[in-house]
Chains A and B, each alone.
Chain A
């Protein structure tokens, strides 16, 4: 995927760097630990980032651990195919600008990916050190370091092709696509439904994990390259597909993201202060309900249950602690081993005083006379046989039901694709799950001028997979438009 790079392995400086110390010496360096804010301070602030980032010394030392393998497997674990040893070796030689330039060759959002990618399941899981029973190179920390500590080099502008393409949605898939297409010389316009650019990076992921300023910086970089952004514009509503074609757009990338929150369909789920994680996080992150200066209200629960075990559940429980909850409980029906959230998020949540009620499943919510939730009834579970996902499936322990007092419940059990665009373009084929049906290779939909990627196709995945889709769609669309 990554053929053109300013820092190939054969570069003389890399050869010299490889020879400068032995692999054995490199392997003897201990993996860096990410400096973190103390947990008791963290819970008092919504906006201070928990992970503080590496110092230059730490980053250079960590970069030295990388063996610069002849056949680097880490790259195969990256959905956007970053030249990982290339950027790391630039950090080792303290050329941070080139390190960022290498990252920007394939990723429009390195400062974002360095923070929110599940590296332990991707690039770092393929690191040669794993085979040597040593901790992987901290690729994610290094990526973030380069993105935060270098000025974005302005890539040479490609000759303009005079071909207009549109993007519906300004989340990770849309931004990644926009970055690739503008670099290829297309005129790119991104339409966003909300009043802020960034999609889930703004409304979903809290600032203590991904500061808005970091997202803004990446968006500004795209703007500098010539990408146009229009907020408050919904494709299929404000502008129809036909309007876009009439405006001269030759193709559209639909990256409208996840939509409707899922609920469990249990009694009492519509009581007051039972909310989706989407609602809770949107109020706090996008609308700044935690700040007195902003008009949007949010309930500040004191005893909060978060239902679910994914990253969104972790974002919700940690936000609830910061919003003043005394007791926050994550209720998850399987055991901790099956929890889909990143290990780091679970660790951070636990440090911040979040309790984990694993092997519990809510079966009903109870309310006071005004309809405000006051308790949940939990069914104890145990692990049975593995299910289709390979995880041992939870089965109820008969008769083991307990009642736990709560004054707020945040339901975080997944989302369905956003129905706005599929319902506005009747000819657009969708799957049984309501996602846009696309060709796996090209991400082209049933309408030849419409491509789609990210959660509108995947139903609910990660930032980096969405970005990978953006790249893939850009490559396929560019080819189709230029052939």
Chain B
């Protein structure tokens, strides 16, 4: 860890667990819930947010001394919107089918609260390198939850992972289906995303008592 001092390393590892953007800071819920019915979409979303948050944090951090505080929200929105347009065009060029399924939700990265939240809370007050680490750390913390939710919803809902039939074929009754297992189609519907995230929060907080909220 010659590159990173202990303080810098904490910037990356903290959002991973005890300061997770989704389960603790309550940021960026919208996209976390809407697109997690498939693992692949979750991974692509996580990578897009990683790019936007990492680069955006550096840009805002470099400009932090010349942005008048009254119009900073507009400036931040323009920076994010530009980065998101890049992501959108890249996706359309290389993953056209996926960009169709993600649809409006790529555009909604602009108003993903994680991004504005980290700009406001961190990049406006810190140098570019630390902001970059903070951006990467938070985006990874976000991505982990996204991939976790996507993993369970796709596995239990359609019995596949990334499109591979890991549990066997439901029509020809191979694999676990031979023993009478059925896919739970309910997992693919929107409300189950909320309940899966609720359960993740439950598990995390029962492992770490310090995170429990007062009533």
Question: Is chain B found bound to chain A in the same assembly?
Answer: no
Binding site for B on A (CB under 8 A): none
